[in-house]
């Protein structure tokens, strides 16, 4: 096993190096400058040397940041455009919170359109621009860029990715392309069909251009194969469609390299995850015996299913808007109540479990080693993943305004992960129990969305990301548990990692 771990570490380092090499090399030949527009962080991508070209202002979606739109910015800049990305109010590294209702056009939508206009005005004045402009937006921002383009008829073309917008007409905005991921929900695909169908007069065929560019009625719907709501941003098909659409609208023929970032990101994060396995052997042993509930399936499912059903029902009518992070406050409360109910369930069934007779309070535990192990695991979980996420995916490093929110969210994630790790680990713990309890939690969130769809519908887009985190950090906590013999080492580290992710990515909102 020692040889296998050494070989695994070598393979992991090669994977990390290869991923970083290709991802960092994706911007070769580009000039990347950063600026500030009335407090909004802005990044400009352009060829290091090139003729004046149209400017494309690119906007991210809900709970995203400008890093998420970097694949489009790089692809368009390499094709000769001046590409501009930025962080919306309340998102990424923008220190200003968003205000108003996110479902009302006169609320947050109006503020976002105004901010987009400020960035667009800055972009129009950039050296290297030829005076022409196009806009591109993903998900929430698709509606924002469409509204802006309708108010500014000199916007020559619009690209809406994962679009929803109630204001599109057959002639406005000018020259609209809709890009949807093949694995995205049917309502998003139907929205694209509806909008392009205004011109086609019938069910539009994908990858067919209707109308004409001269009078601004050009419309096109495309589906990017085998990608969902986030993967659509990394799909070479999406990037090619956007570039070709803008080339057609502006009469250009730039064909810069389209780099498939997805596989290299996958390789990078695979290497980081794999490296955690041999590194886990460096963690100190915390207990002389393996701790944890180790429940049989019958008792474990009783403890796991009850919180999954009760939590969304209890919180259905309870006000949860107490943190200045949209939906982050609800998830915090959901985690906290779910964890407390799990602890109650553990207490009720503990006497029936032979393997849980060794109580935590009386266990032979080295608390110094516990602190060291939990700290090392938390640092690796946050930094090893967080730094490349912040560089290539989305903002993950907290600005000062967000730092206190990490502790607030930790108050919710800590009860959940401590209770869940104790529940699913221990002598005699059933294989698959950790996965089963995570599935219960995701189903609990789904029930919450069904009970209060208008308030929580954005969780539909976030649940897949939570699933990915569960898988990765579940592996980490399992490896840590085997080495330290204490499930709460991984539980504490996972609670902090989740609190960090929620606090730094969910939009800051003043209601």
State mean pLDDT over 267-290: 95
Name the nearest CA neighbour of 310 among 162, 431, 443, 405: 443
More confident residue, 223 or 354: 223
In this predicted structure, what is the pLDDT of residue 348?
A: 87
Instruction: Identify whether the C-beta of residue 328 lies closer than 8 Å to the C-beta of residue 506.
Output: yes
293 & 230 share domain: no
Q: Grade residue 510 by pLDDT with cuts at 50, 70 and 90.
A: confident
315 and 453, same domain (yes or no):
yes
Residue 464 has pLDDT above 60, yes or no: yes
Q: Are residues 423 and 359 in the same domain?
A: yes
| pLDDT over threshold 60, residue 357 | no
Instruction: Tally the C-alpha atoms within 13 A of residue 263's C-alpha that lie toward its C-beta.
Output: 5
pLDDT score of 356: 47
Looking at the structure, do residues 349 and 209 belong to the same domain, yes or no? no
Please compute the mean of the pLDDT values over residues 412-420 and round it to a whole number: 97
Summarize the confidence of residues 125-140 as an average pLDDT: 94
- How many residues are given for the chain? 511
My answer on whether 468 and 334 are in the same domain is: yes
Average pLDDT, the chain: 92
Same domain, 7 and 83: no
Structurally, how many domains does the chain consist of? Answer: 3
Is 355's pLDDT higher than 50?
A: no
What whole-number distance in Å separates Cα of residue 417 and Cα of residue 339?
Answer: 7
Query: Which pLDDT score is estimated for 362?
Result: 53
**Are 226 and 309 members of one domain?**
no
Say how many C-beta atoms besides its own lie within 10 A of residue 150's C-beta: 19
Given a cut of 50, is residue 358 above it in pLDDT?
Answer: no
- Looking at the structure, do residues 277 and 313 belong to the same domain, yes or no? no
Full-model pTM = 0.90
Q: What is the pLDDT of residue 191?
A: 96
CB 416 within 8 A of CB 335: yes
Predicted confidence at residue 361, as pLDDT, reads 46
Pair 114, 72 in one domain: yes
Residue 487 near residue 422, CB atoms below 8 Å: yes
Same domain as 442, residue 419: yes
What would the pLDDT profile of 320-340 be if each residue is shown by its tens digit? Answer: 888 898 889 999 999 999 999
Distance CA 482, CA 82 (A): 52
**Domain extent for 267:** 1-26+262-282
The residue among 412 and 430 whose pLDDT is bigger is: 412
Q: What is the mean pLDDT of residues 348-376?
A: 71
Single residue among 218, 248, 282 that ends a domain in this structure? 282
CATH number, domain with residue 230: 3.40.50.1820
Instruction: In whole angstroms, give the CA distance from residue 32 to residue 304.
Output: 49
pLDDT at 370 over 90: yes
The verdict on 356 and 458 lying in the same domain is: yes
Q: Which of 249, 282, 315 is the last residue of a domain?
A: 282
pLDDT at residue 53, as a whole number: 95
- Is residue 70 within 8 Å of 262, Cβ to Cβ? no
CB 386 within 8 A of CB 396: yes
Last residue of a domain, one of 211, 242, 258: 258
Q: What is the pLDDT of residues 297-309, one digit of tens each?
A: 989 999 999 999 9
pLDDT tens sequence across 169-210: 999 999 999 999 999 989 999 999 999 999 988 889 999 999
Are 220 and 82 members of one domain?
Answer: yes
pLDDT tens-digit map of 35-73:
999 999 999 999 988 789 999 999 999 889 999 999 999
Q: In which band, very low, low, confident or very high, does the pLDDT at 351 lie, cut at 50, 70 and 90?
A: low
């Amino acid at each position: 096993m020692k040889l296998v771990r050494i070989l695994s570490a070598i393979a992991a380092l090669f994977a990390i190096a290869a991923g970083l090499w290709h991802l960092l090399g994706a911007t070769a030949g580009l000039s990347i400058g950063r600026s500030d527009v009335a407090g909004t962080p802005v990044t400009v991508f352009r060829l290091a040397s090139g003729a004046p070209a149209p400017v494309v202002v690119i906007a991210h979606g809900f709970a995203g940041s400008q890093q998420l739109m970097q694949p489009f910015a790089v692809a368009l800049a390499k094709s000769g455009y001046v590409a501009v990305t930025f962080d919306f109010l309340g998102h990424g590294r923008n220190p200003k919170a968003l205000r108003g209702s996110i479902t009302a056009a006169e609320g947050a939508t109006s503020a976002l359109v105004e901010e987009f206009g400020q960035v667009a005005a800055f972009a129009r004045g950039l050296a290297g621009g030829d005076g022409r402009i196009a806009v591109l937006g993903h998900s929430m921002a698709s509606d924002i860029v469409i509204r802006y383009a309708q108010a500014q008829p000199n916007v020559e073309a619009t690209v809406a990715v994962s679009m929803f917008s109630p204001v599109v007409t057959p002639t406005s905005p000018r020259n609209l392309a809709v890009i949807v991921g093949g694995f995205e929900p049917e309502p998003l695909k139907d929205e694209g069909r509806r909008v392009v169908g205004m011109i086609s007069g019938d069910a539009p065929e994908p990858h067919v251009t209707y109308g004409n560019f001269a009078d601004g009625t050009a419309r096109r719907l495309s589906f990017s194969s085998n990608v969902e709501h986030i993967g659509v941003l990394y799909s070479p098909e999406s990037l090619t469609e956007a570039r070709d659409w803008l080339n057609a609208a502006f009469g250009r023929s730039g064909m810069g390299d389209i780099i498939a970032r997805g596989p290299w990101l996958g390789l990078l994060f695979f290497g980081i995850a794999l490296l955690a396995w041999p590194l886990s052997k460096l963690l100190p042993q915390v207990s002389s015996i393996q701790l944890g509930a180790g429940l049989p399936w019958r008792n474990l499912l009783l403890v796991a299913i009850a919180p999954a059903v009760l939590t969304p029902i209890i919180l259905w009518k309870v006000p949860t808007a107490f943190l200045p992070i949209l939906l982050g406050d609800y998830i915090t409360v959901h985690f906290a109540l779910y964890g407390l109910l799990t602890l109650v369930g553990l207490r009720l069934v503990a006497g029936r479990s032979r393997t849980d007779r060794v109580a935590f309070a009386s266990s032979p535990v080295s608390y110094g080693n516990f602190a060291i192990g939990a700290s090392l695991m938390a640092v690796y979980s946050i930094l090893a993943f967080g730094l490349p996420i912040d560089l290539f995916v989305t903002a993950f490093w907290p600005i000062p305004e967000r730092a206190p929110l990490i502790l607030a969210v930790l108050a919710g994630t800590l009860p959940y992960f401590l209770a869940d790790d104790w529940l699913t680990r221990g002598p005699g713990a059933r294989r698959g129990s950790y996965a089963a309890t995570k599935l219960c939690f995701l189903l609990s969130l789904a029930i919450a969305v069904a009970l209060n769809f208008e308030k929580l519908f954005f969780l539909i887009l976030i649940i897949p990301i939570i699933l990915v985190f569960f898988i990765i950090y579940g592996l980490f906590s399992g490896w840590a548990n085997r080495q330290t013999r204490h499930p709460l080492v991984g539980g504490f580290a996972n609670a902090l990692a989740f609190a960090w992710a929620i606090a730094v990515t969910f939009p800051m909102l003043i209601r």
